[in-house]
Amino acid sequence: MDEAKKAAGNHAASLVKDGMTIGIGSGTTVYWFIRELGNRIDQGLHITGVPTSTQTEKLAAESGIRLTGLNEVDHLQLTVDGADEIDGEGNLIKGGGGALLQEKMVAAASRELIIIADKSKVVPRLGKFPLPVEVIPFGYKHVQQKIIDSGLCKQVRLRSRDNKIFITDHHHYVLDCEFDSIADSYGLNIGLHLIPGVVETGLFVEMASSAVIGFDDGTIQMIRYK
């Protein structure tokens, strides 16, 4: 699996040109992208990155990438990020690592969103991976109940880690929503956003420009969505 992720990350790094300001996503496949960017910077590449999480910020800084904040740029030429699931139309579930809010904001500020993933992330229909929904802590149980009562999903669990409630970089909670499958990702995204207390969802609908899919033998497949 690491060979597949490394292949996707390395290929995505080759798409980054000198002088670009880019968004840098989060996750295990993005790790390889950042490492390869660091190698290219050692060889003379000059870029600026906007990280999507504190973990990404740390790794990117260690790799020699010059960093800035989203408020400091007018736009990003491209963002490279991972995904937990990708359907045939390029719609995504993201947020398994908990950075969905910043990931979506950075993606929305980008002219192009390139998703990198191993082949296991490509699915016929979204929904097997639990959908993360970021919520404010105040009244989160009521938000949880409203999602359950809406009939939008089978089960809603408050995310925990090491027997403690998981806290995002922006001090929010995450509700993981379980489905059999998601038939209408666009409608579901809107429906969840209408519930007061929901900050963001892990549904990235019609945002990806392309995907770089890595395979175990080190080959990649490039898929264009728009």
**H-run or E-run covering 115:** strand 113-118
Domains of the chain: 2-122+205-224 (3.40.50.1360), 131-201 (3.30.70.260)
Q: Can you give the pLDDT of all 226 residues of the chain as single tens digits?
A: 699 999 999 999 999 999 999 999 999 999 999 999 999 999 999 999 999 999 999 999 999 999 999 999 999 999 999 999 999 999 999 999 999 999 999 999 999 999 999 999 999 999 999 999 999 999 999 999 999 998 888 899 999 999 999 999 999 999 999 998 999 999 999 999 999 999 999 999 999 999 999 999 999 999 999 8
**Angle at which helices 54-62 and 28-42 cross, to 10°:** 30
Whose tokens are 């080190």? That residue is 218
Catalytic residue among 103, 112, 134, 206: 103
3-state helix, strand, coil in the chain (%, to 5): 30, 25, 40
Asked if 103 is an active-site residue, the reply is yes
User: Tokens representing 201?
Assistant: 């969802």
**Closest by CA position to 56, among listed 86, 91, 28:** 28
